[in-house]
Structure 1
């Protein structure tokens, strides 16, 4: 006997399908438990924040980067007795707004639905100036940063770049926190691969946000002068 014909048909999956009561009875307690955890209040937002609210830096982006700096630095310092100098993550990584009112666990999952983890790359100051700063100036997007202050002229050329308020030392090694997606070249950020050493924190970006929210009680991030254009 030889196979001569294969036939198939499309079975649509939609909300019109009947629920199997036996399966639903098994799933419902788990679903209710997960939803209760996701909808539990862990902080409070005094306003609504969106990544479209600013030009080169946004309140939600600043919160995102600051939360990573604070939370990841605790882990990094415990392991290395060193500190993170700057954070760079991507504008596209923020996937939802923060609405005014209660912040829940679900909020953090909506903002960061991906399973990205945090890493710290050791990078020479020259690489940061020639590649990272150059990338930010040409991207013209509000990529979240912390620890780095960057000013551009009217033509988007860098006129000042500081790390922790000081001029970047070309020969100094800085600890730069990002996520594993960007470290591996996501969003065209190929410069991370030129690092001197890499520290894998085994700490998800979402977990850092959750830990930050639980500590913060109330959030009130603002647009500031960490990344601006002088016109």
Structure 2
């Protein structure tokens, strides 16, 4: 598929999705939303792809929703408005529920929905020039569709701080709030990205998927009294799989498993 607002770069087992609306600082519009959903679904199905990285072309990762697009919602019917909003939510959910590990590497401005895209990823690394704001209330809006992912990352009280004040924060504060995992110079963050990818590719791809599902279920679905049976069943099932048997056998034989040759 030929994309207009994003670019896909494939490097062996790693796919990088570049936001590419540089003239508007990678602001999100309906076209970008649809292209991101399509790209994530396709890459998630591609067995040769094992890690997905999100980046932004130009000086800024993403300045949130394109306000010209958002303003047009006044001309929509209620049904059209709701449908488009659900598509935006689907974009973030497709990233959050992706079976492959996802990494956001951000720089410059990360505003509004850019934070949602970033927070839906498993890892977030920021260059030290990055700054973040949930500025929706200044515009008479609310950060609705991104709120599940932001609140999961930073918690209720930090979310109130950022969402109600709309204040801008730097990488140090973002790290303290756990909005990002790491920050550093461009060279340091590129090295961190390589290191994380190295670790992820050394793990069994099916085990990575199962582990992501485990974390989600423990945090979101299961009640405390269900956890013992669920976790026991999870390990009992996976240790019989071909991948697990190969991983344990390779360790005992002091060799690399087939997925890490």
Q: Determine which structure has the larger strand proportion and give its number.
A: 1
Which one has a bigger Cα radius of gyration?
1
TM-score with structure 1 setting the length: 0.24
Bigger RCO of structures 1 and 2 (CA < 8 A, at least 6 apart): 1
Q: Determine which structure has the larger helix proportion and give its number.
A: 2
